[in-house]
Structure 1
């Protein structure tokens, strides 16, 4: 640790002094926004030492190692601020608590993408435009029905976002004459941004509903008119018969089904809470992909694939599986003891960023009570409450700052609302499309233009070695050093028996 030698009489100098003990040279690294520029360290060079390999490239300047991006800022952003030590989350400066209590999801979408809460006139344009873009081309039905009956909805949704790019060729900068404008925020770039915003936000619910219904063998539903974003989503999921067919407008009468208002508002709040969360894995993936200038639909598909991973979008599903494995409240003490012995995993507690409590967890706890009041309490609720209370009182978990996060409650809400567990990450993707778009758009409109992301690596493999002829090679065995043995299906086994028999006969 560095020693604080500063005093009130010393003039502040926003720089970092670095002494390279290899050469004795001293460098002053500028500090801006409490950040030092990593490229500066490329200027710190030294001759190769006795312990250096040629692959260390000492004479080409220092590299910065940060496995997993634990403390590397990859972009300047004005979208979302998180203070993990104090449990603060703000969208464009607005506390998440105020937005969840007073705003709607599409208002927050406007805020995240365009930088300010919309006026009534701005919202009256934005909201209908998003909803009108929810309709899919008729050919999409064939695309969705091409998947296996048991395909995971996230696999379908990821493919569907990429599928959109095949419809909107004007969104692909490689096919346009104004490619340079995409790199510098020109008119061709900004006009297509608006189209992509409306299409992706509007169609996210439609694609998700189609992925849901194809698994059940149901016909697809055209998005209704006159409903809010989340209400339209629930309608597309649950519309069953012609008697439920929604009229052209709400005032014309004749509708027999409308989603429950408590569930509509609960889902709207959940969408607000999940709309963005700064530089998480999927948002970073969207920017990494987008930096090579594909169409935005491909970038969003990449983000969807990233969120599919159980370390990101599957956390609330893991909570439900954990609670099911615990069974009943009386089994909680033994489960926590097993967690301390590192025999079990405690899901839904702690966070990569939040070191105290997740501010979203307090909001979602209230939402859970409102949902359970109309759906009935989930049988797992008592187990969840027992686990919640026991963990918060246990010094082992308190000392490690393992407080409940948003995933602890969201899975219980989705389960109470009747969603299957493998659909939970889809309910994460739909609102997160807004955050992905906000970050993608911010990068595309950067005054400095778009520069492809190209991280460095530290090469620790073999140095140069001569080619060895096939007959002279020594086999290298072990996990990761050769292909694993594949257990083939029955048809392959039966064919192999015939082939092996043919070979045996040929040797006779």
Structure 2
């Protein structure tokens, strides 16, 4: 593999290294080539060439932002961005959104097939049974400031869960805890899957309730996954409280279409973290932190803030022109993967129609539609393939009464399913788990000798020196005070 050769085959790539004149044949499997094969393509280091280039150790593949690097082989989710296709285990997302449920699709994503009635009943029962939290969790959530962002609480809460279950930690139970694939190992793995999916709604509801200054609600018996979630967020003291079925169904559909999206930033973070064989709760917490960002899970919130800034539909043309001048940022259009339309966006629009029949239309809907129509007709956006994406589901969340900063939480709750599916697949993959350790291309200083402080020349520049931070309050007064041991500047 990757060795100099004069032969060629149809299922291979022939590479000629013009530095040495050698030709290499690299195999192609499933329309992919092994990056490690390029390590065999070596050349002598040129005179005065930086040793840090490591030319004699073989070529490295440079791919900033993982634009075209496959890090694993997967059987879970398929996306064709050019055709606007999304499938879970081969099933089109459109069919699942119409006929399936979130927990049924969760079973599909994690275990590879649609469950029978008995299998689904068992899975749903285990997930819902594991929704109850330890009583100590109340003190944990109460320790946050009244204005803490719910994503900060949720991220911390998943990490906190790991401290409760020592049997789930490979650092305590042995690093092969999840990779053996035997009955005991799989049972331990499944137990953590039940817990994480079951407690995701409970933790999210607790983050919501603590912001409202309300007591926490124990997960009810007899409701669906999303019904239980709505109950835990909204129930006060009403008897026989049952969430609105339209809102319950809409939330279930949105959970289903958000359950997985292949190796996005947060899923990759979960796998990167999980590759060290850390406990799954810590890996999920890392995924939460990644999803928190405005380029990922925070995009729903960004869409609503954008629409609020636009205001009325008549302000859309001016906003469009400002976007073209790069004075404004357009959120909710375009996607790293989809180059035509996001298949989930059509499901979102249909779901929105059902929700608005119950809640009434969101006042920003007309603005959103005006923006949609203007962008779809404008050559600037057409050329750049900026079609509407799923982030417009924030309009549904807003109509349902969720606060803006809770939108990313509504993304995390279903996405833990996809994270767990990929984590489980990695734990059970053939050949075991290899820790993810990307290479870099070092372009910094070559070797240099230490210079004593008195002989150094100051390096100036905004990015080369620490910032001067303005201090106020007690820090400012303390800096002006006199006391023993005060550092002299």
TM-score by length of 2: 0.96
**Partner-residue secondary structure (3-state), 2:86:** strand
1:369 — aligned with what?
353
1:180 — aligned with what?
176
After superposition, residues 86-125 of structure 1 pair within 5 angstroms as: 86-125=83-122
Distance 1:216 1:34 in 2: 52
Output one character per residue of 1:363-414: Cα deviation in whole Å (capped at 9) or x when no partner: 1001111111110111111111111111111111111111100002x11000
1:327 — aligned with what?
311
Matched, 1:211 2:174: no
After superposition, residues 318-397 of structure 1 pair within 5 angstroms as: 318-397=302-381
Deviation for aligned residue 1:287: 0.3
Output one character per residue of 1:303-348: Cα deviation in whole Å (capped at 9) or x when no partner: 0000001110111111111111111111111110111111111110
**Partner-residue secondary structure (3-state), 1:82:** strand
After superposition, residues 129-208 of structure 1 pair within 5 angstroms as: 129-176=126-173, 178-208=174-204
Matched, 1:39 2:36: yes
Greater alpha carbon shift after TM alignment, 491-500 vs 111-120: 491-500
Distance 2:129 2:48 in 1: 64
Distance 2:65 2:114 in 1: 34
Matched, 1:73 2:70: yes
1:456 — aligned with what?
439
Distance 2:465 2:329 in 1: 31
After superposition, residues 222-237 of structure 1 pair within 5 angstroms as: 222-237=218-233
**Partner-residue secondary structure (3-state), 1:179:** coil
**Partner-residue secondary structure (3-state), 1:29:** strand
Show structure 1 runs of 5+ residues with no match: 1-10, 245-254
* CA gap 1:330/1:26 in 2 versus in 1, 3 angstroms: same
Show structure 2 runs of 5+ residues with no match: 1-7
Deviation for aligned residue 1:50: 3.6
Deviation for aligned residue 1:185: 3.2
Indicate if the aligned counterparts of 1:184 and 1:448 stay in contact, CA closer than 8 A. no
Indicate if the aligned counterparts of 1:291 and 1:453 stay in contact, CA closer than 8 A. yes
Matched, 1:445 2:433: no
Distance 2:360 2:479 in 1: 56
Distance 1:127 1:78 in 2: 23
Indicate if the aligned counterparts of 2:227 and 2:248 stay in contact, CA closer than 8 A. yes
* Root mean square deviation of aligned Cα: 1.7
Distance 1:21 1:448 in 2: 36
Indicate if the aligned counterparts of 1:181 and 1:187 stay in contact, CA closer than 8 A. no
Tell me which stretches of 4 or more aligned residues in structure 1 moved more than 4 Å: 500-503
Distance 1:348 1:154 in 2: 20
**Partner-residue secondary structure (3-state), 2:191:** helix
Distance 1:90 1:404 in 2: 19
**Partner-residue secondary structure (3-state), 2:481:** helix
Distance 2:483 2:121 in 1: 72
**Aligned with 1:499 (options 468, 473, 482):** 482
Greater alpha carbon shift after TM alignment, 225-234 vs 386-395: 386-395
2:382 — aligned with what?
398
Matched, 1:465 2:448: yes
**Partner-residue secondary structure (3-state), 1:19:** strand
Distance 2:445 2:182 in 1: 46
